[in-house]
Amino acid sequence: MAFFDIFTNYDLLSVGIAIAASTLLGFIVFFSNPKSYTSKFFLMFTLVSSAWGGVNYLVYQFSKPEVSLIFIRLVMFMATWQAFSFFLLTFVFPKEECEIPKKFKYLLLPLTILVSLLALTPLVYKNINTAASAGEVAQATPGPGIIAFGLLAIGLVLSGIINLIRRAGRSDKADEIKYRFFLLGVGSMFILIITLNFILPNIFSNYNFIPFGALYIFPFAAFTSYSILRHHLLNIKIVATEILVFFLIILNFLEVLLSKSQSEVLFRLIVLIALLIFSVLLIRSVLKEIEQREQLQILTGKLETANEKLKALDQARAEFISIASHQLRTPPATIKWYLAAILSGDYGPLDPEVKTALQKTEQTNNLLISLIEDILNVSRIERGKMEFLFEPVDLENLAEITYEQLKPIALEKKLDLTFKKPTVKLPQVLADKEKIRQVMNNLIDNALKYTKQGSVAAEICRDNDDIKFKVTDTGKGISEQDRKSIFDKYKRGKESIHQSAGLGLGLYVAKVVMDQHHGKIWAESAGEGKGSSFIFSIPMHNSLKATTLLDLTEQTQKAAVP
């Protein structure tokens, strides 16, 4: 028969479909996860199988026995590597990472190389014993090396299938699907290849099924593709692209079938090769686009979640400011007005002891008013504007006053609250007196809140060119995870919610205040249940100016610029 006989062209079509399906499937799986060992060996297996199918087709396309013999030996060469790549695939499937044992590298690989090279020699096939015209099956005489080939190739295939069966038995239901369809596909393929292309020709001299060798790849491609479609192992857009590309290749094959001359066949084959290359690049670009879209969807979801949280925070802030303005401010202001009137004698003369008590009450009430005002600074911080009055401040005296104000709380809770002064008088530093007092008050008050029994110790001292204030307690301590976020806005330790009321703003405000004083604030703890220490330090020479309206938004933007 002539090369362009219709029978041969239909045979070429079936071979081309099988090879195209296997090759495209291999690249789709590989591009879906290029770093995966399973993807790499899957691509290797499909490419080798496609090459085996193509060479098997060429065996009976030439009338010269010596040419047919070369292709028969190449079939055996490719079959050796097909079995080897299948065995490696079953060893790593479905893992993304896997260490290849040394015995595979230094024993199995050299043995495979040796047998594959042996397949190219007369030891496997001696000669062609029947002259075959084009389209007919060339019958070769096997040599003694065929036994070595059979033992290695069939041994690798059987070992791989046993590998898959064992792993399928140990896998969960989700992975069992992968094993089931993969086993059906490769099992069917190798049963057909070993039976019809090896056992029948070499033992029973039946060569009738050799021309259909490439078609045996179909079960593998079909079952794997079905698994992808049925169980959504890949994105539907990838599958749609593969189907489109597949039909384009089939149409191109049909054009090859309708070719009337060798030059036309050659031209259309070149177009086919270009189309295959384009198809691989197209599938890769689709996979990349899908990956980018998935990442964009994740980022969009996170952004939407963040926006929802921001809305909730804005609502909480609005409610907080409203309550603080109308509820918290009014009672202390009223108390302040009455105390001022009583102390000024509007209600008559006072006993000295009563007057002293009322003066302390007035002082505490004034501090409460100041504290409420400072809490409202959170809303100013959120808007990006906050006013600081920097002036020379005696931090030691400020710390002692804060200690005296909070000592009654410690006595009420039966806690030992102490204050350690420096041995040498500390110099004054430029600072916002009220805001620093608020930070000191917050640190000591927090220590008293979260310490059920034991002691709280406050101290202030000089540390090189800084003035350091430290509060140490024997309370609940801080976990490593909480310590990393404890100074964030609205952040509180997981147990803090149950132990005291609050919005988790105190330490956040303290950090903002310290930042604007060019200082630092941090927490130390050996762990939960082991107490904690909160420390801030302010440089004595901070070069701060007097009353300043700081644009916190602008500072944040500048800090973000690398």
Within 10 angstroms of residue 8's Cβ, the number of other Cβ atoms is 19
Question: What's the rounded Cα separation, in Å, for the pair 435 and 388?
Answer: 8
Which tops the pLDDT comparison, 550 or 475? 475
What is 384-560's CATH superfamily?
A: Histidine kinase-like ATPase, C-terminal domain (3.30.565.10)
What percent of the chain clears pLDDT 90, i.e. is strictly above it? 14
What's the average model confidence in pLDDT over 257-284? Answer: 66
Q: Would the pLDDT of 1 be above 50? A: no
User: CA dist 354 to 37, 331, 348, 361, 408, Å?
Assistant: 84, 22, 12, 10, 18
What's the average model confidence in pLDDT over 225-239? Answer: 51
Determine the topology of domain 6-234 in CATH.
Rhopdopsin 7-helix transmembrane proteins (1.20.1070)
Which tops the pLDDT comparison, 236 or 518? 518
Q: What is the pLDDT of residue 221?
A: 65
Question: What's the rounded Cα separation, in Å, for the pair 169 and 6?
Answer: 48
Q: What is the pLDDT of residue 344?
A: 84
What's the average model confidence in pLDDT over 287-312? Answer: 75
Least confident of 24-33, 284-293, 402-411: 284-293
Sign, CA torsion 140/143/149/154: positive
Q: What is the pLDDT of residue 5?
A: 45
Helix ranges, 376-464 (H): 377-383, 395-412, 433-449
- The pair phi, psi for residue 367, each rounded to 5°, is -65, -35
What's the average model confidence in pLDDT over 15-21? Answer: 71
Which tops the pLDDT comparison, 426 or 272? 426
Task: Give the CA dihedral 48, 53, 59, 62, nearest 10 degrees.
Answer: -110
What's the average model confidence in pLDDT over 285-307? Answer: 73
Q: How confident is the model at residue 543 (pLDDT cuts 50, 70, 90)?
A: confident
Taking only the tens place, the pLDDT of each residue in 353-399 is 888 888 788 778 876 776 676 566 666 665 556 678 888 999 999 99
Taking only the tens place, the pLDDT of each residue in 194-220 is 787 777 777 777 766 766 666 666 677
Q: Would the pLDDT of 57 be above 70? A: yes
Taking only the tens place, the pLDDT of each residue in 459-509 is 999 998 999 999 999 988 888 888 878 887 655 554 544 444 444 567 888
* Nearest of 88, 81, 24, 85 to residue 52 by alpha carbon: 81
What's the average model confidence in pLDDT over 97-114? Answer: 86
Least confident of 47-51, 52-56, 372-376, 557-561: 557-561
The answer to whether the beta carbons of residues 259 and 13 sit under 8 Å apart is no
What's the average model confidence in pLDDT over 322-350? Answer: 78
Read off the pTM. 0.43
What's the average model confidence in pLDDT over 163-169? Answer: 78
What percent of the chain clears pLDDT 70, i.e. is strictly above it? 66
Q: How confident is the model at residue 13 (pLDDT cuts 50, 70, 90)?
A: low
The answer to whether the beta carbons of residues 438 and 513 sit under 8 Å apart is yes
Structure-token pair, residue 191: 């049963």
- β-pairing, 520-524 with 532-539? antiparallel
Omega cis (within 30) before 94: yes
What's the average model confidence in pLDDT over 450-461? Answer: 92
Who's near 504: CB < 8 A, 6+ residues apart?
Answer: 489, 490, 491, 492, 496
Q: Would the pLDDT of 280 be above 80? A: no
Q: What ranges do the domains of the chain cover?
A: 6-234, 235-312, 384-560
Which tops the pLDDT comparison, 557 or 105? 105
Q: What is the pLDDT of residue 562?
A: 45
The answer to whether the beta carbons of residues 526 and 477 sit under 8 Å apart is yes
Backbone region of residue 385 per phi and psi (left: phi > 0; alpha: psi in -120 to 50; beta: other values):
beta
* Nearest of 532, 550, 527 to residue 457 by alpha carbon: 532
